[in-house]
Structure 1
Amino acid sequence: MATMTLRINDQDGELIKKYIQVHGLTISEFARQAMLEKIEDEYDLQVLRQAMAEDDGVRISHEELMKEFGL
Structure 2
Amino acid sequence: MSEVTIHVSEKEKALMLAMADLNGLTISELARTMILGTLEKQMDLATYNEAMKEHQKFDESVSHDEMKKELGLC
Q: Which TM-score tier does this pair reach, normalised by the shorter chain? A: 0.7 to 0.9
Counterpart CA distance in 2 for 1:57 and 1:37 is 34
The CA RMSD over aligned residues, in Å, is 1.6
Alignment match, 1:19: 19
Deviations, residues 29-55 of structure 1 (Å, cap 9, x unaligned)? 111111111111111111111111011
Q: Which runs of 4+ in 1 moved over 6 A?
A: none
SS in 2 for 1:7: coil
What are structure 2's unaligned runs of at least 5 residues? 68-74
Alignment match, 2:28: 28
SS in 1 for 2:25: coil
Alignment match, 2:48: 48
| Structure 2 letter corresponding to 1:12 | E
TM-score by length of 1: 0.76
SS in 2 for 1:28: helix
Identity score, percent: 31
**Displacement, 1:60?**
6.2
**Displacement, 1:6?**
1.3
**Displacement, 1:23?**
0.8
Q: Between Structure 1 and Structure 2, how many residues are aligned?
A: 62
| Structure whose CA Rg is larger | 2
